[in-house]
Amino acid sequence: MLPAAAALLLATAALPGATSTMKSTSAAPSPAVCALGKMSACGLPSSVVIDMSKVRIQRTDAEWRSRLTADQYRVARKQGTEPPFENQYWDSHGDGVFFCVGCDTPLFDSKHKFNSGTGWPSYWQPLEPAFVAETVDTSHGMSRTEVHCAVCGSHLGHLFNDGPQPTGQRYCINSASLKIMPRGEYEAWLLKGGTTGPAR
């Protein structure tokens, strides 16, 4: 029998919008800095309508409110955003894996995190592309790619094509949508089948 984490990986790989897994690399990416004096597209909330019938975890609004803090709920469930340079993980250098606050799905690895200069945690690839779904966001007079958890629909942030190599992508993610599990705990979690996410 597959461990729960591996089963989840295989089960979600067939989600709509899933892409093939990118190969990891140890190359040191260079930072991509936003232009000074301009409103960052990362700092604008999303107004897209996410088709929640496609996500695997369904909860009532009351259940989401009881599970999440007020800030997590505003960002993850109401597609808000948080201030740059004033959020938990923008300058985090800990070694570990970042999970979705909504469903404990592993989304991003600290090995793929880089300093984008934007004030939000930025990654050049997700841990598993099938876990991060994309929707076109045309709010605020621009076209952006909104990203959300493919398992529970929680809003994460936006994807831009100005990131470092090897992917050239920048996943600009809200800290409020994430929680980190240190590397050692993550490896132990995988060995146990990945059934309980990190503490909130």
How many other C-beta atoms can be found within 10 angstroms of the C-beta atom of residue 27? 10
Q: Is 129 helix (H, G, I), strand (E, B) or coil?
A: helix
The residue annotated as part of the active site, out of 100, 103, 152, 172, is 172
Bridge-based pairing of strands 155-160 and 144-149 is antiparallel
Nearest to 16 by CA among 46, 76, 56: 56
Q: What DSSP assignment string belongs to 74-85?
A: IIIIT-----TT
CB-CB contact of 107 with 78 (8 Å)? no
| Cα 183 to Cα 6, 54, 105, 106, 163, distances in angstroms | 17, 31, 15, 12, 24
Residue with tokens 């994309």: 134
Q: Which DSSP string do the residues of 89-118 spell out, in sequence order? A: TTT----EEEEETTT--EEEEGGGEE--SS
Active site residue 172: yes
Catalytic residues: 172
